[in-house]
Amino acid sequence: MEESSFWTHPLVETAGYFSVFMLCLVVAMVVFELVTKYKNWEEIQKGNIAVALATGGKIFGVANIFRYSIENHSSLPEMIGWGMYGFVLLILAYFLFEFLTPKFKIDDEIERDNRSVGFISLVLSVGLSFVIGASIS
């Protein structure tokens, strides 16, 4: 097998995309940990369903955005760039969600295990990931 065909082999490409995505997901989760008032993994360990819902939505949202990016960009740097751009838009949407609910604080409600707010956060992350993903295509 030639060296150039090795790097373009579907198994190698898949492993590369997977590895890069996992690294980007770790970065995304660290950023989400920094922008929320609560500690995601501590709250999940305590059984906080609202945090689990919101965090699961964020993970799905980031993965879905990167799915679109992988599908529509031919190079690894393009895929990373557009995927991270989509992630930034998802973060901005999180702040907009907080801004658009002036009667209560999203982070406080999720930390208190308000599952309704956790579920809406999940749906918002998932729904916006489809819109963001389609727009970065």
* pLDDT at residue 49, rounded to an integer: 98
* Phi, psi torsion values for 46, nearest 5 degrees: -80, -5
Domain locations along the chain: 3-135
pLDDT at 1 exceeding the cut of 70: no
* pLDDT at residue 124, rounded to an integer: 95
What pTM, to 2 d.p., does this model score? 0.87
Task: Give CA–CA dist 135/119, Å, rounded.
Answer: 24
- Which pLDDT tens digit goes with each residue over 34-79? 999 999 999 999 999 999 999 999 999 999 999 999 999 878 888 8
Please, which residues have CB within 8 angstroms of residue 130's CB and are 6 or more apart in sequence? Answer: 64
Residue 26: both structure tokens together: 């770790």
Task: Give CA–CA dist 82/117, Å, rounded.
Answer: 29
